[in-house]
Amino acid sequence: MDIDPRRLRVLHEVARRGGVMRAAEALYLTPSAVSQQLAQLEREVGLALIDRSQRSVSLTPAGRVLAGYAERVEEELIEARRELTRFTERLAGPVRIAAFPTVIKHVLVPAMRELAERHPKIAPVIHEIYGQPALQELRLGAVDVLITEQDMSLPALSQPSLITRLLYVDEYRIVVPPGWPDPPATVADLIRLPWVASEPTQACGQALERLAGLHGFEPRKVHVITEFGPTLALVAAGHGVAIVPTLALLDVPEGEVRVSEVRDVGARRLDAVTRVSRTRSGEPDPVQAVVIGAIEEATAALETSLRGRLGEPPVEPSDGDRP
């Protein structure tokens, strides 16, 4: 019998929350996706797990038994992994990390280099996935560590089953084409300019909406782009101005775009998000803890290097934003 642990997690949430709708909300899935996962699980075990004879969904006796085991399976596996680590005194195994391109290149690659030297048996597995799909994968157990971004004006992700650690405060810059004779110096200069905008769900998209709302203008979005590479290429070619985080400027050749004098645009926060441990000891998975430590070290080194290049002090989070 080959059972996907992600489907066990779905079954456990249905039992815990008392229905498909509440389970879907907890897992950030649609009710249809939860029903599909349950149907597939029934095919895997060859038994009916859901009683669909009534208006409200309930578990069959077999479903209740399997749901009871579902949570214990995860707890026991993590506990066994911890105990084996004590015997071997070596950390080993895969850790699945979800992130987006700038973090993969400038944070995860250096962190993996350090991990390879200190803990060669740890095997980071990186998925380029972000937003709600990544959060769903984290809650379902397909991802162990999720790196998120969002505008600092928004509250940090807070869910009872998740732990959020602040990694880095990445200040925004407004970039303009290098050939423009009169680059903007104030927010008022930006009002009538064309924008190469980010999606509203992305941190830079959130920053543009916030900036426009504060100063009472409607940005003229001539392009809406997801990745920073194409955004900066369009700006360099003279198609508009854009808000980008400082981290995105590391890959830009000198002179390709101009960083405007407009400041106080805000910043985005980068967070490492993990699931709350359900083990008897309550301690985090030791391998994940080491990986997160390496990510934090790589982020700190990047911040020091970046601020040194720009000749600026680090952006300090407020007390409410500290992990």
> Which tens digit of pLDDT belongs to each residue from 95-143?
999 999 999 999 999 999 999 998 998 999 999 998 888 988 888 888 9
Q: What is the pLDDT of residue 232?
A: 95
77: confidence class by pLDDT, cuts 50, 70, 90: low
Does the pLDDT at position 170 exceed 50?
Answer: yes
* 267-275 vs 162-176, strand pairing mode: antiparallel
Rg of the chain over Cα atoms, rounded to whole angstroms, equals: 23
217 and 164 Cβ atoms separated by less than 8 Å: no
Query: What span, in angstroms and rounded, lies between the C-alpha atoms of 112 and 294?
Result: 8
Residue pointed to by tokens 């004590």: 86
Does the pLDDT at position 213 exceed 90?
Answer: yes
pLDDT tens per residue, range 134-156:
988 888 888 999 999 999 988 88
Q: What is the pLDDT of residue 56?
A: 67
pLDDT (average), residues 37-42: 87
Contacts of 157 by beta carbon, 8 Å cutoff, 6+ apart:
148, 150, 164, 271, 273
Does the pLDDT at position 314 exceed 70?
Answer: no
pLDDT (average), residues 296-311: 80
pLDDT tens per residue, range 48-73:
888 877 666 778 888 888 887 776 66
Query: What span, in angstroms and rounded, lies between the C-alpha atoms of 233 and 4?
Result: 43
Q: What is the pLDDT of residue 183?
A: 82
pLDDT tens per residue, range 235-290:
999 999 999 999 998 888 888 999 998 888 999 999 999 988 765 555 567 888 89
CB-based burial label for 131 (10 Å; 0-12, 13-18, 19+): middle
Q: What is the pLDDT of residue 85?
A: 59
Q: Is 255 left (phi over 0), alpha (psi -120 to 50) or beta?
A: left
Query: What span, in angstroms and rounded, lies between the C-alpha atoms of 216 and 59?
Result: 53
Query: What span, in angstroms and rounded, lies between the C-alpha atoms of 53 and 188?
Result: 63
Report which DSSP code applies to 199: P
Does the pLDDT at position 322 exceed 50?
Answer: no
Q: Which residues pair with 164 in a beta bridge?
A: 273
Does the pLDDT at position 30 exceed 70?
Answer: yes
Contacts of 79 by beta carbon, 8 Å cutoff, 6+ apart:
279, 280, 281
pTM, full prediction: 0.70
Q: What is the mean pLDDT of the chain?
A: 84
pLDDT (average), residues 161-176: 91
Report which DSSP code applies to 186: S
Quick one: what percent of the chain has pLDDT higher than 90?
A: 40
Query: What span, in angstroms and rounded, lies between the C-alpha atoms of 92 and 114?
Result: 15
Does the pLDDT at position 318 exceed 50?
Answer: no
Quick one: what percent of the chain has pLDDT higher than 70?
A: 85
Q: What is the pLDDT of residue 199?
A: 92
Report which DSSP code applies to 317: P
Does the pLDDT at position 81 exceed 60?
Answer: yes
291: confidence class by pLDDT, cuts 50, 70, 90: very high
Name the nearest CA neighbour of 286 among 123, 138, 78, 137: 78
Contacts of 197 by beta carbon, 8 Å cutoff, 6+ apart:
204, 205, 208, 219, 221, 223, 224, 225, 242
DSSP string spanning 104-163? IIIIIHHHHHHHHHH-TTEEEEEEE--SHHHHHHHHHTS-SEEEEEEETTSPPP--TTEE
pLDDT (average), residues 295-303: 91
Q: What is the pLDDT of residue 286?
A: 81
